[in-house]
Structure 1
Amino acid sequence: MTTFKTVRWSTYLFELFVVFLGVTLAFALDEWNENRRKRNIEIKTLTEIRDGLQLDQTDIQDNMSGHRRGLKACAVFRTYLRSPQPVPDSLPFYFSYLTRDFIAIQNSAAYESLKTRGLDIITNDSLRLEIVALYDFHFEIIEKLEEHYAEMQFYTLYFHPINDLMVDYLVFDERGRLTDLLPTVHLTPTDHRKLLSYLWRIEYNRRFTLIQYETLVQKLEQLMVHVTEEIERLQ
């Protein structure tokens, strides 16, 4: 009888252990699957952010090149105002860039998706803060400078004043395209100084904007490296 009871209890304990083990393994499997799902979402989100940043690099470089052409336009136009030499053929081209503005294009779809899903999807705290800083601070600075800060709206501020002073020196072809500029021999000293003042201000503000772009590029490239490292770690 004692032996029978011992065997029965042993059977019960074994069955209880099997049930407990099964439940534990089921919970562990569910947790593993959930962690894998979250990790896959994190990898997908980081990959989308990296792809968006690669597109941003192209847009940023295009804008920086445009501002550099604007600086070159200031230098060429200043030489034109100061020199009695013949007008260079490139002057009409640079005249068109003198007051050109640019739009801050930002591929933020991946970041907006991240905010919708929840920022805590990014498990690396420092990387999450770096992403937020780039999009909500550094990109924001560029957008405000390019599109909202009145001092940087070159066309609005300077096109009409410059055009009004230069209209008698602009040469157009039969199709209405600017083809040449005449020497400003009849420009008054006051108007001459006005134009130089406009050039100085445009040049100063374009240089300031380029400095902000250079900071953005540095932060963006650093983030791309860190995002790539995190993707490789998670895979």
Structure 2
Amino acid sequence: MKIKNIKKYVYEFLSVFFAVTFAFLLDSWNQNKNQRLTEKTILTEIYNGLERDSIDLHNDELTMQYNLKAVDYFRKIVNNVEVDNDSLATYYFYLTRDAVTIQNTSGYETLKSVGLEIIENDSLRKAIIDLYEVRYKLYQKFTEEYDENKYMRNYFEKINRSIAPNFNYDPRGNIIGINQPINLEEEEKKLVLSYLWRLQVNRLDREGAIKGNKVKIGEIRALIKEHIQ
């Protein structure tokens, strides 16, 4: 009778034990499944956002190329090298044009609200944090907050004062050309050339930052694509 009772108790204990264990494992499995689904959803949002960022950076790079061409164009004018009048208005527009950064951070903000640890892959998680918390913030500060990169405020009036008096306009007030040579005094010429040099150096720095961010975005998108497939 005692052996029979012991078997009964053991059977009941094992039944309860396996039922609890199975329920726990099922709950853990469901939680893990939900986490992986959440992770995939957030990473997909980040992946798509980075694609838009890449397009914006490409457009920034094209603008930077126009900025640099504008510097070369006006350097020729200062040095009394004849230029094409048809390009004057375009390059005048781009010469001291300020820049605004556009970064799509909605996916990353969602990730932070859920918890960064939702991303299993340590390398991927660190790369995403580095991009948004370091590279993007430094790029924005460099572009919008660094005083020397406020081109319109720092350089427009100084350059304009020497060059704009030589512009020609049509009856509607549109710029149509420039009288050449402008024959600046040597001191004034050197000052304008120094401003153009600073514009060129600053634009080249930003162009380098753009290219670096484009490479980093490409690497992270490749990691995300591999991880969620």
| TM-score, scaled to structure 1 | 0.90
What does 1:84-95 align with in structure 2 at a 5 Å threshold?
Answer: 85=82, 87-95=84-92
- Structure 1 contact 171–181 (Cα < 8 Å) conserved: yes
Task: Report the alpha carbon displacement of residue 108 of structure 1 after superposing the two structures with TM.
Answer: 0.6
- Once the two structures are superposed, what CA deviation does each residue of 1:162-210 show, in whole Å capped at 9, x if it has no partner? 1111221122223322222221434322222222111111111111111
In structure 1, C-alpha distance between the alignment counterparts of 2:216 and 2:67, rounded to whole Å: 24
Cα pair 2:49 2:107 within 8 Å, conserved: yes
Q: Kindly provide the amino acid, as one letter, of the partner of residue 96 in structure 2.
A: T
Q: What is the CA distance between 1:75 and its match in structure 2?
A: 1.1
Kept in 2, the 8 Å contact 1:102–1:146? The answer is: yes
Residue 81 of structure 1, CA deviation = 2.4
CA contact (8 A) 2:155 2:195 kept: yes
User: Computing the radius of gyration over CA atoms, which structure comes out larger, 1 or 2?
Assistant: 1
2:119 corresponds in structure 1 to: 122
Aligned to 1:39: 36
- Distance in 1 (alpha carbons) for counterparts of 2:66 and 2:74: 12
Tell me the equivalent position of 2:68: 71
Q: Structure 1: how far apart are the matches of 2:192 and 2:211?
A: 28
Partner of 2:195: 198
Return the alpha-carbon distance in structure 2 between the equivalents of residues 117 and 167 of structure 1.
55
Kept in 2, the 8 Å contact 1:56–1:107? The answer is yes
Matching residue of 1:102 = 99
Task: Provide closer, same or farther for how the CA distance between residues 87 and 6 of structure 1 changes in structure 2, counting only shifts above 3 A.
Answer: closer
Structure 1 distance, partners of 2:16, 2:117, is 35
Query: Does the aligned pair in 1 maintain the 2:42–2:111 contact within 8 Å?
Result: yes
Alignment of 1:131-146 (within 5 A): 131-146=128-143
- Cα 1:78–1:86 shift into 2, 3 Å: closer
Paired residue total? 229
Task: Give aligned-pair identity as a percent.
Answer: 35
Check conservation: 2:80, 2:181, Cα contact below 8 A: no
Q: 1:200 & 1:218 partners in 2: Cα distance? A: 27
Give the residue type in structure 2 aligned to 1:14.
Y
2:114 is the alignment partner of 1:112: no
User: 3-state SS of the aligned residue for 1:76?
Assistant: helix
TM-score of the aligned structures, taking structure 2 as reference length: 0.92
2:213 corresponds in structure 1 to 216
Contact kept? 1:92, 1:181, Cα under 8 Å: no
> 1:6, CA displacement in angstroms?
4.6
In structure 2, distance between residues paired with 1:84 and 1:104: 35
Kept after mapping to 2: 8 A contact 1:87/1:181 = no
CA distance in 1, matches of 2:86, 2:212: 35
1:175 equivalent in structure 2: 172
2:228 corresponds to 1:231: yes
Structure 2 counterpart SS, 1:90: helix
Residues 127 and 226 of structure 1 are in contact (CA less than 8 Å); yes or no, is this contact kept in structure 2?
yes
* Aligned partner (choices 7, 10, 13) of residue 13 of structure 1: 10
The residue matched to 2:176 in structure 1 has which SS? strand
In the alignment, what sits opposite 2:59?
62
